């Protein structure tokens, strides 16, 4: 397999973008086809405003058809019942194909949703790493023999769930996809992927690669389209046994309702966040911490579920710290995402852009102190610079709601108890960070934080071995690690009475 060279300069990426062609049809039953209705939607480059392509807009009819195909594929056993080592070989081949085509996959995500190309390449490493990890894990997962008496034998077997529908967002299009489909496929399920309508292109390229890797007909299908049409239809489908969702808390709540209205399918949710990042006065090297605190919110234009959007700073160092943070933010300005030097790219679309600017306006109206940014950049492209509000309180909308953009809210605190109470004063519980040199304090505070993950003296650390997910209204599922693999299989207890 030949690996294509990864472009390195701005000009290289521009040239590659200019010559790129891509698939826009749905992938059903191992074929690319238009939506049943013939309808399409435009996918738009948020930097140039150009329509990149007209993509198949699937609806309930397409969902029904894909559901039946997925069920047949599951029941025929060509994937679901083969030895795990066979699935491993195919998924490792898929990982190889993703690696060989990673520049193209990264570019599709960047063109589709505006994230910097370097960040898209980072996502590819995460997506490919996940595919490899889950492929390698599946033939190492044992069933159990229960500790019964000698007059019986009880086996606890693991079996795939059936048909899994993965519904994913646009902020890390291919990486979120891989976090869902890799464990679901490895466990032997048939998977129907619904990418976001804002970033469907890399998922369609992945379908081609999956077919080339040898994933059997009907085991992996991709239905582009809108949430309220094809997404809702999948969620209500009697053919779907499990919904694996990443997206907003509001839509997550709807999916649980749809599951209740249909077949009580399992619903794994990875939802939104408003994550607290706590800086204690005893932390070392304030400049370095300030840089990481800025990066925690401005990385990927703030369009990150675990963005460190609430910065809680001990009041004794707050003035100095915020000055250092503003200096660090200066180096994180947005620019053309095809330029490898751009720290931030463009906001995904006009709706999101307007929503972020509305939050900024409300922050000013509510009396927070605007210390940086606050206005869209003039000229082409949906760019918003790093925006920092100080003196934010828990009553303000910008201090409570997920902005999902490059907007930081700074709060002050005086005691550990205050910091813990402020950090936990949120409907969300996805991530939290704390910076301190005092190990007793670190452990005391960490145990009390209501959060699926806590980053100590870093932000966003983790790898494939570590589960990723939230508590409270940030969701109930876990991506990555063997814990996510376990979510995609069921336990079957088999009891033998021995004579
Ligand atoms: P969203 O909830 O609007 O959409 C997510 C997906 O759900 C899309 O594919 C969309 O088409 C689909 N959808 C929308 N309405 C639906 C419906 N009624 N039925 C079925 N499907 C429907 O979220 P988004 O704007 O794409 O992404 C941003 C959100 O995702 C943020 O809240 C962010 O925090 C969250 N997110 C969470 C994680 C995590 O791991 N916890 C990771 C990335 C993003």
**pLDDT tens-digit profile of 427-481?**
999 999 999 999 999 999 999 999 999 999 999 999 999 999 999 999 999 999 9
Q: What is the mean pLDDT of residues 52-81?
A: 98
For residue 172, the ligand 1 atom closest to its alpha carbon is 43
User: Nearest residue CA, atom 14 of ligand 1?
Assistant: 227
Is 58 within 8 Å of 237 (Cβ atoms)? no
In Å, how far from its chain's centre is CA 89? 26
Q: Which residues lie closer than 8 Å to 277 by C-beta, 6 or more apart?
A: 293, 296, 308, 310, 311, 312, 432, 433, 434, 435, 459
Q: Which residues lie closer than 8 Å to 291 by C-beta, 6 or more apart?
A: 328
Summarised one tens digit per residue, pLDDT across range 351-407 is 999 999 999 999 999 999 999 999 999 999 999 999 999 999 999 999 999 999 999
Backbone angles phi, psi at 43, to 5 degrees: -105, 130
- Listed residue (246, 291, 243) closest to 271, CA to CA: 246
**To test ligand 1's pocket by mutation, which of 173, 226, 251, 310 has the most ligand atoms within 8 angstroms of CB?**
251
Class of domain 10-271+475-493: alpha beta
173-186 and 201-213 helices, crossing angle to 10°: 30
Check pLDDT > 70 for residue 186. Answer: yes
The pLDDT of residue 4:
76
Distance CA 58, CA 468 (A): 30
What confidence category does residue 2 fall into, taking pLDDT thresholds of 50, 70 and 90? low
Distance 413 CA to ligand 1 centre (A): 33
* Residue range(s) in the chain whose domain bears CATH number 3.40.309.10: 276-464
Distance CA 103, CA 121 (A): 7
In 10 A of CB 380, how many CB atoms? 11
Is 254 within 8 Å of 384 (Cβ atoms)? no
Whole-structure pTM value: 0.98
Q: What is the mean pLDDT of residues 250-260?
A: 98
For residue 352, the ligand 1 atom closest to its alpha carbon is 25
Q: Is 340 left (phi over 0), alpha (psi -120 to 50) or beta?
A: alpha
- Listed residue (97, 107, 124, 90) closest to 209, CA to CA: 97
Q: Decide whether any atom of ligand 1 lies within 6 Å of the 173 Cβ.
A: no
Any catalytic annotation for residue 305? yes
The pLDDT of residue 5:
83
Check pLDDT > 90 for residue 101. Answer: yes
- Listed residue (38, 34, 44, 40) closest to 54, CA to CA: 40
What confidence category does residue 1 fall into, taking pLDDT thresholds of 50, 70 and 90? low
What DSSP assignment string belongs to 321-382? HHHHHHHHHHTT-B--TTSTT-SB---S-HHHHHHHHHHHHHHHHTT-EEEE--SPPSSSS-
Distance CA 165, CA 242 (A): 6
Q: What is the mean pLDDT of residues 257-267?
A: 98
What confidence category does residue 77 fall into, taking pLDDT thresholds of 50, 70 and 90? very high
As given in the structure block, the two tokens for residue 387 are 């925006």
As given in the structure block, the two tokens for residue 109 are 């995500």
Distance 44 CA to ligand 1 centre (A): 18
**Burial tier of 51 (Cβ tally within 10 Å: 0-12, 13-18, 19+):** exposed
Distance CA 171, CA 176 (A): 8
Within 13 A of 88's CA, how many CA atoms are on the CB side? 13
pLDDT more than 70, % of the chain: 99
Q: Decide whether any atom of ligand 1 lies within 6 Å of the 194 Cβ.
A: yes
For residue 269, the ligand 1 atom closest to its alpha carbon is 41
* Residue range(s) in the chain whose domain bears CATH number 3.40.605.10: 10-271+475-493
Distance 246 CA to ligand 1 centre (A): 5
Distance CA 245, CA 242 (A): 10
CATH, range 276-464: 3.40.309.10
- Listed residue (454, 459, 368) closest to 409, CA to CA: 368
Selecting among 23, 239, 305, 314, the annotated active-site residue is 305
């Amino acid at each position: 397999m030949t690996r294509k060279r990864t472009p390195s300069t701005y000009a290289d990426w521009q040239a590659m973008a200019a010559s790129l062609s891509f698939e826009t049809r749905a992938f059903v039953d191992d074929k690319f086809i238009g939506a049943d209705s013939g309808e399409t939607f435009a996918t738009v480059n948020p930097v140039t405003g150009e329509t990149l392509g007209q993509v198949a807009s699937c609806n309930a009819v397409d969902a029904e058809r894909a559901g039946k195909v997925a069920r047949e594929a599951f029941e025929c056993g060509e994937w679901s019942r083969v030895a795990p080592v066979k699935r491993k070989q195919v998924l490792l081949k898929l990982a190889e194909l993703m690696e060989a085509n990673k520049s193209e996959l990264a570019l599709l995500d960047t063109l589709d949703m505006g994230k910097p190309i370097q960040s898209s390449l980072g996502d590819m490493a995460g997506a490919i790493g996940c595919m490899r990890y889950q492929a390698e894990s599946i033939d190492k997962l044992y069933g159990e023999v229960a500790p019964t008496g000698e007059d019986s034998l009880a086996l606890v077997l693991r079996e795939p769930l059936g048909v899994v529908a993965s519904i994913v967002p646009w902020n890390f299009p291919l990486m979120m996809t891989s976090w869902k489909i890799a464990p679901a496929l490895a466990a032997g399920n048939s998977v129907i992927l619904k990418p976001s309508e804002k970033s469907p292109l890399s998922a369609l390229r992945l379908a081609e690669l999956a077919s080339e890797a040898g994933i059997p007909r009907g085991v992996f299908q991709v239905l582009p389209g809108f949430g309220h049409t094809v997404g809702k239809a999948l969620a209500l489908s009697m053919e779907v046994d499990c919904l694996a969702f990443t997206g907003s808390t509001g839509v997550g709540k709807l999916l649980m309702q749809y599951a209740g209205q249909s077949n009580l399918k399992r619903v794994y949710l990875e939802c939104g966040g408003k994550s607290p990042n706590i800086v204690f006065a005893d932390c070392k090297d304030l400049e370095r911490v300030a840089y990481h605190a800025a990066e925690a919110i401005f990385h990927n234009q703030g369009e990150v579920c675990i963005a460190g959007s609430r910065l809680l700073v001990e009041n004794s160092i707050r003035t100095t710290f915020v000055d250092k943070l503003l200096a660090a933010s200066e180096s994180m300005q947005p620019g053309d995402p095809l330029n490898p030097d751009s720290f931030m790219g463009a906001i995904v679309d006009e709706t999101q852009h307007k929503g972020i600017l509305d939050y900024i306006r409300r922050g000013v109206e509510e009396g927070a102190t605007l210390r940086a940014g606050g206005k869209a950049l003039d000229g082409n492209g949906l760019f918003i610079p790093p925006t920092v509000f100080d003196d934010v309180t828990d009553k303000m909308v910008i201090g409570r709601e997920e902005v999902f953009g490059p907007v930081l809210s700074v709060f002050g605190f005086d005691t550990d108890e205050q910091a813990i109470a402020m950090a936990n004063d949120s409907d969300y519980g996805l991530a939290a960070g704390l910076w301190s040199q005092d190990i007793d304090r670190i452990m005391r505070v960490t145990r009390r934080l209501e959060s699926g993950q806590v980053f100590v003296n870093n932000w966003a650390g983790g790898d494939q071995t570590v589960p990723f997910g939230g508590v409270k209204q940030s969701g109930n599922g876990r991506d990555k690690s063997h814990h996510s693999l376990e979510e995609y299989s069921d336990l079957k207890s088999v009891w033998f009475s021995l004579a």
